[in-house]
Amino acid sequence: MHPTPGALAGLRVIDLTTVIMGPFATATLADLGADVVKVESLDGDMTRSIGARRHEGMSALTLNLQRNKRSIAVDLNTEDGRTVLDDLVRSADVLVTNLRPRSREKLGITFERLSQINPGLILCTAQAYGSETASRDNPAYDDIVQAASGAAKLSELIDGEPRYAPYVIADKVVGLYIVIAVLSAAMTKRKTGVGQAVDVPMVDSMIAFNLVEHFAGRTFTPAEGDFGWARVLTPERVPHQTADGWICILPYSSKNWDDFFTAAGRQDLVGNPRYATVNARHRHMGELLTAVREVASERTTDEWLALCELHGIPASDLLDLGKAAENPYVLGQELITKREHPTEGEYYATRTPFAMSRTPVALHRHAPLLGENTVELLTGLGYTEDDIRALVDVGVVKTASPEAASA
């Protein structure tokens, strides 16, 4: 554990999110030092029960998505549970939720109401579609957002078949947008003392994200060229097979290409006017990558890496993420470290990949059990021992302790 306060020390965040997107965003804020209070149902975030785990409720996803947070388990469908949430809001700077608007309104989670309780509150809402649109309450998960934002259709431009990315890219990209939006609002609050409503719709975010390079000629009206960035839409844009494995070789500048083809013995391609400029190369990237593929099998991966390093040509072997914890670079950067959880034993902890000289990103607390911090948080809000016991007895809140869980 790292004793140095993080950059966001003093910022309290109420995390009323589930699954990947919201918890990923709030875990990033927590890594940066924010005091993140995870408000869970009495059954807990569904990811507590998804995938590998040693004990019920403490999945692999939970160990890293809920790190550096405190957990309070509350039934928000009860009046007393909503009162607990209101009390938490009074002490908070930010509330992040991915509940859909209809569900938020049913629970009284509206900016109009909560800002009366706490004028400094930043309410960050993040659901599939904009909160003020006709689609506001449509359910959606990552695959739906990839489809609705155009991401799934991009591969159709490569080989005629739409497909999803093999990871929850929308959840994680929008999670980072949430972090940016919350920090921006926090900066404004620091100047004015006043909070605001922030809406981060997933589909909107991913459409903007996908158009960065692909809007291309359609940016202009009338259009000045085709949609899509040709370099990344060519079918030949794949890793290349070497004599003993796989490699990514990506010459980029004119000198890179000439040096590569000279070393590879393809003098016919050195100085070829067809590939003389970056725009020309992007238009004919399929031809260039085919030429790389044709020579790649003549050397081993290590031989190609050495040759590319000698000439300053971008290249990399392919990381097997399943073995990332054994990778020298990953280990050297402490991107994955072994930790000892109080109830789950030894595990690999990931970290938010920032290097900050004065306020380092760090693991300050392990992922909590469901309701592990319920008593601590309610006591801090002024609830007495009898008050807490009464809430537990009627099923409004749930408590847990590492000692009991490990017994």
**pLDDT, tens digit, for every residue of 209-253?**
999 999 998 899 999 999 999 889 999 999 999 999 999 999 999
What's the one-letter identity of residue 202?
Answer: M
Does residue 349 sit in helix, strand or coil? strand
Percent residues over pLDDT 90 in the chain? 91
Q: What confidence score (pLDDT) does residue 4 get?
A: 79
Report residue 110 as tokens. Answer: 């509206």
Backbone angles phi, psi at 199, to 5 degrees: -115, 125
Q: What confidence score (pLDDT) does residue 402 get?
A: 77
Q: What confidence score (pLDDT) does residue 123 get?
A: 98
Q: What confidence score (pLDDT) does residue 271 get?
A: 87
Q: What confidence score (pLDDT) does residue 182 get?
A: 98
For the chain, the structural domain boundaries read: 12-209+330-406, 240-317
* pLDDT above 80 (res 2): no
**pLDDT, tens digit, for every residue of 182-207?**
999 999 999 999 999 999 999 999 99
Q: What confidence score (pLDDT) does residue 1 get?
A: 62
Backbone angles phi, psi at 125, to 5 degrees: -105, 140
Q: Give this prediction's pTM.
A: 0.94
Nearest residue to 197 via CA among 206, 189, 205 = 189
Q: What DSSP string runs through 96-131?
A: EE---HHHHHHTT--HHHHHHH-TT-EEEE--SS-T
Which residues, 6+ apart, have CB-to-CB distance to 268 below 8 Å? none
User: By the 8 A CB rule, do 19 and 45 touch?
Assistant: yes
Question: Which CATH superfamily hosts domain 240-317?
Answer: formyl-coa transferase, domain 3 (3.30.1540.10)
Report residue 152 as tokens. Answer: 């799934």
Q: What confidence score (pLDDT) does residue 405 get?
A: 60
* pLDDT above 60 (res 406): no
Percent residues over pLDDT 70 in the chain? 98
Domain 12-209+330-406 has CATH 3.30.565.10: no
- Average pLDDT of the residues of the chain: 95
What is the average per-residue pLDDT within 311-332?
A: 96
Strands 122-125 and 197-199 turn out to be parallel
Cα separation, 109 vs 275, whole angstroms: 58
Q: What confidence score (pLDDT) does residue 404 get?
A: 61
Cα separation, 248 vs 289, whole angstroms: 10
**pLDDT, tens digit, for every residue of 357-395?**
999 999 999 999 999 999 999 999 999 999 999 999 999
Q: What confidence score (pLDDT) does residue 279 get?
A: 87
What is the average per-residue pLDDT within 56-73?
A: 97
What is the average per-residue pLDDT within 105-126?
A: 98
